[in-house]
Amino acid sequence: MPIYEYTCLDCGCDFERLVLGRRKPTCPACESENLERRMSLPRVKSSATRGKAMRAAKRRDAAQARDRMHERIRYEESHDRHG
């Protein structure tokens, strides 16, 4: 599949697009056609890369859970003071 990576030269947005035929892609942020196609790196899937991705996902999920917990505590404390 012809999926390409682009950088918008007007707003700096980085994105990927599936390009079919001769259709020219546009920036999803500002709809500009002033784009630069970037070199895409090949993706390799193996048990090592899968393990690394899973560890990163678990760290991300734990950080999000901590953030939600802290936000909940702040919310409850603010309602305790004003209630």
pLDDT for 1 beyond 60: no
What digits encode the pLDDT tens for the residues 41-74?
A: 676 778 888 888 899 999 999 999 999 999 999 9
Confidence class for position 82, pLDDT limits 50, 70, 90 = low
Predicted TM-score (pTM) of this structure: 0.47
**Helix, strand, or coil (residue 8):** strand
Listed residue (45, 42, 41, 37) closest to 17, CA to CA:
37
Of residues 71 and 1, which shows the higher confidence score?
Answer: 71
Higher pLDDT: 39 or 65? It is 65
Distance of alpha carbon 49 from alpha carbon 59, whole angstroms: 15
Give me the pLDDT at residue 79, please: 85
